[in-house]
């Protein structure tokens, strides 16, 4: 079966960049069909490029093989700081691969994994990674399928993580156990400034929990929760008085939640 024309053209373009551009620092392939093979070609570029700092691969149809190849390149690369992989059908095996890579990588600060069907199998290694990684400051896991097991695991990692500033875990089928785990974690965490919990089933009773939490935690400046959560207006009023973090364009792109 022949490859789509767009994929052939894009692979050829990547090969030209790989050969000709040694001073490249940003690449944006968002919404361009790369496919698995394009991901593999790009992974070779990442391994050898020493100037690239930002790579946007959102909506490029990498699938698991392409995503795993990209993850593997991060073990070698020491310059890439921002990586967007939103909506690529990456799933759990990729979750394991990226977690393994980021236990070794000490450069990447921003990672967007929104809309990738990552479940608890892929999430648990990511949580484990967060216990060790001291570089990642923004992680977007919104619109995946982490469930209660994944939510509790991420919350446990947040309890000890001292690097992450922004976390999106909205629309992930997490419920009361995860909500409680995040509340406990944020009593200890003094680094996280932004937490997105929208579109999860953690409304009933947690308005008071979060309101009480904000009396203890003074680092949090943005908490995205559903409007029908008890004490919503009081919570947002407290947060409005706190100075929001400085946001780069990629940070701003990761905070709003894209619903399913």
Tell me what pLDDT residue 205 has: 83
How far apart CA 221 and CA 156 sit, in angstroms, is 20
**Do 31 and 6 touch, CB atoms closer than 8 A?**
no
At the fourth CATH level, the homologous superfamily of domain 5-254 is Ribonuclease Inhibitor (3.80.10.10)
Classify 195 as helix, strand or coil: strand
Q: Provide the token pair at 228.
A: 């029908």
Q: What is the pLDDT of residue 45?
A: 87
Would you say 235 and 223 are in contact if contact means Cβ atoms under 8 Å apart?
yes
Token duo for residue 105: 């990588």
Nearest CA to 255 out of 202, 187, 194, 179 is that of 194
For each of the chain's 260 residues, which pLDDT tens digit applies? 455 666 666 667 666 666 645 677 888 889 988 899 889 989 988 998 888 999 999 999 999 999 999 999 999 999 999 999 999 999 999 999 999 999 999 999 999 999 999 999 999 999 999 999 999 999 999 999 999 999 999 999 999 999 999 999 999 999 999 999 999 999 999 999 999 999 999 978 889 999 999 999 999 999 999 999 999 999 999 999 986 656 555 556 556 554 44
> What pLDDT, on the 0 to 100 scale, is given for residue 258?
47
User: What's residue 37's pLDDT?
Assistant: 87
Q: Phi, psi at residue 82, to the nearest 5°?
A: -125, 130
Res 10: pLDDT: 67
Give the model's pLDDT for residue 255: 61
Domain limits, the chain: 5-254
């Amino acid at each position: 079966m022949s490859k789509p024309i767009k994929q052939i053209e894009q692979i050829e373009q990547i090969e030209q960049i790989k050969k000709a551009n040694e001073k490249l620092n940003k690449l944006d392939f968002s919404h361009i069909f790369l496919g698995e093979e394009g991901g593999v070609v790009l992974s070779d570029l990442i391994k050898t490029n020493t100037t690239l700092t930002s790579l946007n691969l959102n909506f490029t149809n990498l699938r698991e093989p392409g995503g795993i190849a990209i993850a593997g390149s991060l073990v070698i690369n020491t310059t890439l700081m921002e990586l967007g992989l939103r909506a690529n059908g990456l799933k759990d095996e990729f979750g394991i691969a990226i977690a393994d890579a980021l236990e070794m990588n000490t450069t990447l600060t921003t990672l967007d994994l929104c809309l990738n069907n990552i479940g608890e199998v892929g999430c648990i290694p990511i949580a484990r990674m967060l216990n060790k990684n001291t570089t990642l400051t923004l992680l977007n896991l919104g619109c995946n399928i982490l469930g209660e097991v994944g939510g509790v695991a991420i919350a446990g990692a947040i309890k000890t993580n001292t690097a992450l500033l922004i976390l999106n875990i909205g629309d992930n089928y997490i419920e009361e156990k995860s909500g409680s785990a995040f509340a406990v974690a944020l009593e200890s965490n003094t680094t996280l400034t932004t937490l997105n919990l929208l579109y999860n089933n953690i409304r009933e009773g947690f308005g008071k929990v979060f309101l009480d939490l904000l009396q203890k935690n003074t680092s949090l400046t943005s908490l995205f929760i559903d409007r029908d959560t008890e004490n919503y207006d009081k919570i947002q009023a407290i947060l409005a008085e706190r100075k929001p973090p400085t946001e780069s364009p990629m940070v701003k792109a990761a905070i709003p939640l894209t619903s399913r």
